[in-house]
Amino acid sequence: MAIDEEATLGCGRRIDQVWANIENPPDVHESSCPDCTDARSRLGRLADATRELRAADLADADLVPRRAVKANIMQIARAEVRRGRRLPLLRGEDAANGALEISEQAIAGVARATADRIPGVHARRCVVTSADDQELATAQPAPEPASISINLRISVSAETQIPATVELLRTKIIDDVAEEIGLVTRKVDVLVEDVHDA
């Protein structure tokens, strides 16, 4: 099968044209062209072998990594877990003064769990920021719960009533964060970024 750099047969047909028609009967040119006939027969055997190799690989129970590989991956991931920023639990306090702090990840976890309990809602990325004005906060005589803003992206199922669901989600997140962590949520921004099949 003589081919040049452009993968073209002697008759001028490109190999990928011949390949594209390999599963069909030869067209008018192919059935009378010796170059194409030869190419079709060789490529046909390759097509069969390729199909077999793909099927054999998929069916081969030995062609998988040992369990230890996943165990190693998860062990390293766990050791390098990202907890995000740390936020004070009480207004105006900081870690330097021995104040209690909570990770962004933990707050996001509460917000996501709240979202997951609402039918049709899948919580995606979540960013939590402090909503306290530091100057004002330090002026407070007695410590108060710190306040935060939450930005949550979600995907909703096709039949979800978006405005009502988003409103419900906001209210529930504010309640759950107050109840489970004791923080005041000043703002919940919900972005519906996708619609998934129910």
Partner 1 sequence: MPPASPVPDTPVSVGSRLDPDTVVARAQDGDLDAFEQLVDLFQVKLFRLAYRMLNDRGEAEDTVQETMIIAWRRLPSLATPAAFNGWIYQIATRQCLSILRTRVRRNTDVADADTFVERSSPDDGPDRTAEKSAALHRLNAVLATLPDEQRACWVLKELHDLSYQEIANILQIPVSTVRGRIARARPLLAEGMSSWR
Q: Using CB under 8 A as the criterion, which residues of the chain lie in contact with partner 1 when the complex forms?
A: 1, 3, 5-7, 14-16, 19, 39, 42-43, 45-46, 48-50, 52-54, 56-57, 63-66, 69-70, 72-74, 76-78, 80-84, 105, 108, 112, 116, 122-126, 153, 155, 194, 196-197
Nearest one of 56, 177, 52, 31 to 114, comparing CA atoms: 177
Partners of 191 in beta bridges:
153
Question: At its nearest, how many Å lie between partner 1 and the CB of residue 106?
Answer: 11
**Interior angle at CA 133, CA 128 and CA 135, nearest 5:** 145
The DSSP 8-state label assigned to residue 119 in this structure reads: T
Question: At its nearest, how many Å lie between partner 1 and the CB of residue 98?
Answer: 26
Asked if residues 89 and 145 have their Cβ atoms less than 8 Å apart, the reply is yes
Nearer to partner 1, 137 or 188 (CB): 188
What is the spatial distance between Cα 136 and Cα 91, in angstroms, rounded to a whole number? Answer: 10
Nearer to partner 1, 124 or 145 (CB): 124
Partners of 152 in beta bridges:
126, 190
Nearer to partner 1, 3 or 178 (CB): 3
What is the spatial distance between Cα 76 and Cα 195, in angstroms, rounded to a whole number? Answer: 33
Nearer to partner 1, 112 or 170 (CB): 112
Q: Which two tokens stand for residue 49?
A: 């072998």
Question: At its nearest, how many Å lie between partner 1 and the CB of residue 97?
Answer: 27
Question: At its nearest, how many Å lie between partner 1 and the CB of residue 186?
Answer: 21
